[in-house]
Structure 1
Amino acid sequence: MSTDAGQKRILILGGTAQALNIARDEIAKGNDVITALAGRTEAPTLPPGRHRIGGFGGAKGLARYLKEEGIDLLIDATHPFAKTISENAVLAAQQSGIPLKTVTRAPWQAEQGETWLKVADEAAAAALLPAGARAFLALGRQHVALFRSREDCHFILRVVDPPIEPSTDSRWQWVIGKPAQAADTEKALFEAHGITHLVCRNSGGTAGYAKLEAARMLSLPVVMIERPLSNSSRSGTASVSDNAAKSKR
């Protein structure tokens, strides 16, 4: 199946910092790497190797792609909340007979001095916010629809790409850009917008952790959306970035 003796052709389901690191490592070993990205952002960070942008058409489509491309190993390094693609990866591996390696990262844990309000999903998060809250939504635009019914709150939403049609609702403000790596930068952002609550998903890892540090510095309550049950037991190999995140505990 591989093009050269000893070389593996690997498909990485990516979109995370972990996937970038895995692609680099596998290419350094001499393997042929293809990274699949969902295509939700206009200018994604592209890992080394080959790329595929867009969906596969469900588990059957992914299984077909694995066979047609002669893939030797499928690696699921998607976001911990990417429930559908992770489930499709399991089914596709079973249907195609291709080995699957699932890589995840440990969830964040509340530290001393932090106030976490744990909820199951976005609907519960929206319902939990008190009237008059100025909430920072670190969720992505595709996950905020359920908050629009809260006409008694003000929301600041961070997105990577500018909205096609800017909101005319004064209750909503947009912050364009990726999460800052420095807690002081996030803290200054929260202070500038008068944030009273942080709403985020328990993604784990180091990317995006600074917002939790900033919330702790400002004594802001964090409405933490827990991981989907089907993904809570995802197992795999911890990366260097995972270990760095764990060392914060």
Structure 2
Amino acid sequence: MRILLLAGTSEARNLAHALVERGHQVTASLVGATRAPRDLGCETRIGGFGGEQGFRDWLAAHPVDLVIDATHPFAVQITDRTARVCADVKLEHLQLRRDPWGPADGDNWTFIDHPAQAESVIQTGSKVFLATGRQTLEQFAGLSSCTLICRQIDPPEEPFPFENGEFLVGRPPFSIEDEVQLFTNLKIDWLVVKNAGGVMSRSKLDAARQIGLPVLMINRTAPPDGPIVTSVDAALEWLDAHYQG
């Protein structure tokens, strides 16, 4: 089967290898947000499609039987576009979206729907650790009275967009102990996180619980209609069941 895998997550990487092992012809697509992505074990294209029409043109020139969207749960534009185009051209489409996180005993989480709401929750003068990526930094402009630290994988190519902030470079995974030490040494008052889910990146939340650090959790938007699975195993089971019947 010819499969286009929209990648960029650890689940996508694991799924790519599993699909190739099962004999599928896989093309993985990365937007290029990380400069040195890990090998996916299949044909890989890096860079966007050039918008919706570019995506349509690529599909017309590279016929596939199935599109699997295993992008980040907050890659909303890509996910919505993919669902819309696949429905329009009647192309089979599966979403792999890992389960969101939920609070446990000892967690101090506040939920918001948009980064702009952070200023109504976080106190003036707070030191804030933004574990949200650089793409949405501008949406935290309202935290002008706070000190902001944004962690990203690659060294920044441009300065921090606000005078009250700085970048911290680090490549995951991070242990709970590492995160506890980091937050303690930096004297962080608030941790801001997108509810991306997943095991590998949960250590910062476990560390926050351990030291009593409040967390501002940004909710996901609702996914498009269509089949959704929450794990690599479930994606493989769906594929087997769907194409055996």
- Do these two structures clear the TM 0.5 threshold for a shared fold by scoring above it? yes
Find out whether 1:162 has 2:160 as its counterpart. no
Identify the residue that residue 238 of structure 2 maps to in structure 1.
none
Greater Cα offset, 59-68 or 191-200:
59-68
Q: 2:26 aligns with which of 25, 33, 36?
A: 33
3-state SS in 1 of match to 2:144 = coil
CA-to-aligned-CA distance 1:29-73 (integer Å, 9 cap, x gap): 111111111112222223110111111233333233223112111
Partners of 1:213 and 1:70 in 2: CA distance: 44
| 232 and 9 in structure 1: CA distance in 2 versus 1, 3 angstrom threshold | closer
Q: 1:129 aligns with which of 118, 122, 129?
A: 122
Q: Is the 8 A contact 2:125 2:145 kept in 1?
A: yes
Q: 1:186 aligns with which of 172, 179, 182?
A: 179
**Structure 2: which amino acid aligns with 1:113?**
G
Q: 1:211 aligns with which of 190, 196, 204?
A: 204
**Structure 1: which amino acid aligns with 2:137?**
V
Q: Is the 8 A contact 1:14 1:76 kept in 2?
A: yes
- TM-score scaled by length of structure 1: 0.87
In structure 1, the gaps of 5 or more residues are 1-7, 243-249
Partners of 1:220 and 1:237 in 2: CA distance: 29
| 215 and 33 in structure 1: CA distance in 2 versus 1, 3 angstrom threshold | same
Greater Cα offset, 70-79 or 57-66:
57-66
Deviation at 1:149, TM superposition (A): 3.8
Identify the residue that residue 143 of structure 1 maps to in structure 2.
136
| 198 and 241 in structure 1: CA distance in 2 versus 1, 3 angstrom threshold | farther
Identify the residue that residue 15 of structure 2 maps to in structure 1.
22
Q: Is the 8 A contact 1:125 1:225 kept in 2?
A: no
**Structure 2: which amino acid aligns with 1:90?**
A
**Structure 2: which amino acid aligns with 1:229?**
A
CA-based RMSD of the aligned residues comes to 2.3
In structure 2, the gaps of 5 or more residues are 236-245
Find out whether 1:9 has 2:2 as its counterpart. yes
Instruction: Count residues in correspondence.
Output: 235
CA-to-aligned-CA distance 1:211-240 (integer Å, 9 cap, x gap): 000100110110000001346997225236
Q: Is the 8 A contact 2:109 2:216 kept in 1?
A: yes
Q: How does 1:95-114 map to 2 (within 5 A)?
A: 95-114=88-107
CA-to-aligned-CA distance 1:179-224 (integer Å, 9 cap, x gap): 3331111111111110111001000111210000010011011000
Deviation at 1:163, TM superposition (A): 1.5
Partners of 1:65 and 1:107 in 2: CA distance: 31
Partners of 2:204 and 2:143 in 1: CA distance: 23
Identify the residue that residue 67 of structure 2 maps to in structure 1.
74
3-state SS in 1 of match to 2:145 = coil
3-state SS in 2 of match to 1:144 = helix
3-state SS in 2 of match to 1:227 = coil
